[in-house]
Amino acid sequence: MSFGIDFSVIAVLFCGFWLFREPPKARFGNMAAACGLLLAVVLVLTRHDISGPGVVVLAALIGAVPGIALARAVSMIQIPAMIAFQHGAGGIAAFLVSFVELTRPAAASMLPVNEVSGVLGLAVGSLTFSGSMIASAKLAGRMQQAPRVLSRHTLLVVACSLAMLVVGVLSFFLSGGAAMSLYALEILLGACLGFLLASRIGGADMPVLISSLNATAGFAAALCGMVIENRLLIAFGATVAASGSILTYVMCRAMNRDIIRIIFPVYQGDREGDRIVSAARPASPDSRKAAVTAGQSDGSPPFDRALAAISSARSVIIVPGYGMALARAQFRLAELAALLEQRGTEVRYAIHPVAGRMPGHMNVLLAEADVRYEDLLEMEDANPLFAETDVALVVGACDVVNPAAMATEGTPISGMPILLAADARRIVVCNYDRQPGYSGVANLLYDNPRTIMVPGDAGATIGSLLDAIRNQTTQ
């Protein structure tokens, strides 16, 4: 009977996860998964005698009240940073539970598998916590967003990993205060390793970092489940770990990157000492001046040429990026697309897997603006269509359309598959300025003679285009 109840709760959770496969059903799937987790909490509380129910209620309120307030206050732009923070919260919960279980008086009779799981929970949980805090700070703009590389960084990573292994093994042979000190040292070393790993991952690799932290948070939870012998926690943690691992693999494939190369990156031109990696030099003033005038032989303003190109196009592919999120331009963009379709223009959206700051970021933003899911094209479906498309409208995207990924070696995006917006007959770029994107690599698309660069706030630019085309339609 007990196993049957467990299975029912797990089935509800998996039903929610299964619905995530179809975006129209994802919201219901999220609610189903939340119900599954709530059932699990109720099940655990009813199965065990709670010596201090008031403490449990107080702890639930301390977590729930600010959590609800945070969820209501966070905007879509801040979602990636919040998700990274949540992974960190899961990590700190994991290593605290492991620490408490390992230092209880009854820990002396703990089975070897439980003890090993506990020590691993200390390491993985603290690593997840510190790595997630670094990721959250980068995504929130609290830290330098480019990869940060210390002198002999790889050596520090290896040394910290070996120290964690030695301390973990030694803790099995000691008890009392000595063991507790080693447990605390294991937490400290795990936090240091998380910092070292996350600090030098940045730029276009951030979605991979987020998905991998999702996996480690789930793994830490599963380890806690083994320590306290809770089947539900093991199952839930393993599910999150597996899904995060699969997502990490998908992200790496989308970027044509090896996870080892992301953790241990090698950039050309690296120099010794503490430094910020910026693997591409900004274009020289002369080259920038030439790029600004490229394709502008008629002398007309960029906005007028962009308006003429879009209003006369029979087919348009929109490429959204993080700048669209910052400008909250998805709503005006959806209106512009609807207006163009009314005029007989074929409009589609090309979505790069790592556009934005987390996997699926652009899909969520466009869904918020009620864009039809069938209008969203995956990269492999969109790329063959650019060459026969009249206008590629780039809105706040940089790295994911940067030809430097294919033309330049030794940069953070080298070898990353991109959306081939440069193949379109005309390219209209609505980006804030010509500065490099998140990876720090100068965008060669801006130098394309078929590119019309309309600098400024993407929301304002799209709004002006919408108003101008609407006026054309009513005249």
Active site residues: 399
Q: Which residues pair with 311 in a beta bridge?
A: none
| Burial of 159: CB neighbours in 10 Å, binned 0-12, 13-18, 19+ | middle
Cα dihedral value 102, 104, 105, 111, nearest 10: -40
Sheet holding 346-351, edge to edge: 376-378, 346-351, 315-320, 391-395, 426-430, 451-453
**Is the separation of the CB atoms in 36 and 16 below 8 Å?**
yes
The sign of the dihedral angle between the CA atoms of 332, 392, 25, 245 is: negative
Nearest of 30, 219, 253 to residue 128 by alpha carbon: 219
3 state DSSP class of 331: helix
Question: Which of left, alpha, beta for 365 (phi over 0: left; psi -120 to 50: alpha)?
Answer: alpha
Q: With 0-12 CB in 10 A as exposed, 13-18 as middle and 19+ as buried, what is 106?
A: exposed
